[in-house]
Amino acid sequence: MRNNKRRKFIKNTSALALGLLSTPHLLKSYPSANLKRKFLLSISPGAIGVKGDAMSLLKLAAKNGFQAIVPDAQSVGKMSEKERSDYTAFAKENKISWGSAGLPMDFRKDEKSYKEALAKLPEHAKNLSNIGVSRMSTWIMPTHKELTYRENFAQHTNRLKPVANILGQYGIRFGLEYVGPKTLMARDKFPFIKSMKETKELLYEIDEKNVGFVLDSFHWYCAEESMADILTLENEDIITVDLNDATAGRTPAEQIDNQRELPLNSGVIDVKQFLTALIQIGYDGPVRAEPFNAILNELNNEEAVQATYKAMSKAFALVD
C-alpha cells in the first residue's frame, strides 16, 4: 500500500511539474459529459455558528434539504442507547448520511496530554462507528513556535500514525487539512506544511491506508494551486471537502484564515473549476461549508442553515 501510494503520488506530482497534467489534457482523459456529481451536500453546524443538541441539529439539516451532517463525537458519546437509536433512525428515514467528524483530541500539545487524549480515542471511535460514522478529520497548523520543519514533521508522523491506526480499527478514515493562508506564516518562528504537495509527503510517512486529505477550496486557493493539482488525486485520497469563498479585494497572499465567505458569495475562488475537478476524479464523499464568517455567525440557527444551503446549492448547480 505504501509503495503503491508513493508511486502514484510521485508519478502524478512529477507529471504536474513537467506540465503533463495541464487542465486541457486532463479533461480529455475524463469526459465530463459522461460523469455526474457523486458528492453530497453536507452541513457542519459549528462551522456556521449553529448550536444545539445533536437531534435538533439533525432535524434542522433534514428540514433544509441537506444530504449529510457532521456529527459531534462528544454528544454521541453521551447519548443513551435509546437516544442513539432514535438519532440514527431519524437520519436513515430522512436519507441523511454522516459527514466527517472532528478529531476529539488535540495532538499538538505536550507528550503527556497527547497520550492521555490518545487513550480516550478508542471510546470516541467506537461510539461514532456504532452509528455508522466512517470519516474523521483534523487540520495541520502551518507554523510552530519551537519545532523546526523536520522536527514538526517527525512529531506529526509519530503522533498521527497511532491516531490513524486506532480509527482504522473501527472502520474510520482519517483526513488531514493543510492550511494555506500566507498571512499565517508570521504567526510563529518556524514554517510548516501549507500545501497539497507537502501533505502528500506527510501522508506517505504516516503510512496508514485510511489516511487522506481534507481538501478546502479556500486553502487550495491560498496555496495558489489549480484544477490540475486536484486531478493528481483519486477519490480514495480525499476524506472530506470544505467549500468556501475568499474575501474580495485581497490576493491569495493577503487572505486571512478566519475571514472567509460562503461559496460564490464573493466570486473570488473559481468554485466551478474546483467542483469540476472533484467530479472528474469521482469524489463521492461529503462537501460542507466552513466559512468562519462573522456575519453568518450572527444569524439565528434557521437563517444560518438556510443561507448555507442556498449558497451550497447554487454552487452545486454549476456542475449538476
DSSP-assigned states of every residue in 135-161: EEEEEE-SEESS--HHHHHHHHHHHHH
Indicate the pTM of the whole model. 0.91
Comparison of pLDDT for 91 and 1, the residue scoring more: 91
Q: What is the pLDDT of residue 73?
A: 84
**What digits encode the pLDDT tens for the residues 104-123?**
999 999 999 999 999 999 99
Q: What is the pLDDT of residue 35?
A: 87
Q: Is the pLDDT of residue 192 over 80?
A: yes
Please name which of 317, 309, 314 lies closest in space to residue 69, comparing C-alpha atoms: 309
**What digits encode the pLDDT tens for the residues 62-84?**
999 999 999 988 899 899 999 99
Q: Is the pLDDT of residue 93 over 90?
A: yes
Q: Where are the beta strands (DSSP E) in 162-277?
A: 173-178, 190-191, 211-216, 238-242
8 A C-beta contact, residue 195 and residue 225: yes
Comparison of pLDDT for 309 and 2, the residue scoring more: 309
> How many angstroms separate the CA atoms of 194 and 181, rounded?
8
Q: Which helix (H) or strand (E) holds 229?
A: helix 227-230
Q: What CATH code is assigned to 2-317?
A: 3.20.20.150
Residue with the three cell numbers 505536550: 110
In the chain, what percentage of residues exceed pLDDT 70? Answer: 89
Phi/psi for 202 (5° steps) reads -70, -45
**What digits encode the pLDDT tens for the residues 15-51?**
554 444 444 444 434 444 478 999 999 999 999 999 9
Q: Mean pLDDT in the chain?
A: 92
Q: Which of 20-34, 89-103, 149-163, 201-215 shows the lowest per-residue confidence on average (mean pLDDT)?
A: 20-34
In the chain, what percentage of residues exceed pLDDT 90? Answer: 87
**What digits encode the pLDDT tens for the residues 220-271?**
999 999 999 999 999 999 999 999 999 999 999 999 999 999 999 999 999 9
DSSP 259: -
Q: What is the pLDDT of residue 15?
A: 52
SS3 content of the chain, % helix, strand, coil (to 5): 50, 15, 35
Neighbours of 4 (CB within 10 A): 9
> How many angstroms separate the CA atoms of 185 and 144, rounded?
9
Residue type present at position 261: E
Going from N- to C-terminal start, the domains of the chain cover 2-317
Q: What is the pLDDT of residue 30?
A: 45
**What are the residues whose beta carbons fall under 8 Å from the beta carbon of 43, sequence distance 6 or more?**
61, 64, 66, 68, 69, 70, 99, 288, 289, 305, 308, 309
Q: What is the pLDDT of residue 83?
A: 95
Residue type present at position 224: E
